[in-house]
Amino acid sequence: MFEYTLVGGLVASGVDAYLLHVTTMPSVAYIARVDDFDCGIMISVSHNPYYDNGNLKTEKGGLQRNVRSS
């Protein structure tokens, strides 16, 4: 549900959004780099404590930044 809410907000702001659904972080970085996207966003969760979860953002050129949830 969060995925579609995020995409809805991006599209409403005029951004083109592409869903890869279940995939790996390296594939998000690869697609963002080779298709010349401005960024890639991965939503991740696990059974580990909340501080191990987070959102991963891939900036233009494939640089990755971890945005921790708190």
Q: What are phi and psi of 50, to 5 degrees?
A: -55, -30
The predicted structure's pLDDT at residue 35 = 92
Q: How confident is the model at residue 53 (pLDDT cuts 50, 70, 90)?
A: low
Residue with the bigger pLDDT between 54 and 23: it is: 23
For strands 39-44 and 54-59, give the pairing: antiparallel
The predicted structure's pLDDT at residue 61 = 65
Cβ–Cβ under 8 Å, residues 28 and 20: yes
Residue 66 has pLDDT above 90, yes or no: no
Mean pLDDT of the chain: 79
Active site residue 46: yes
Give the H/E segment covering residue 29. Answer: helix 25-34
Residue with the bigger pLDDT between 70 and 9: it is: 9
| Two tokens, residue 15 | 């951004």
- A 10 A CB-CB count for 33 gives 16
The catalytic residue among 13, 27, 46, 70 is 46
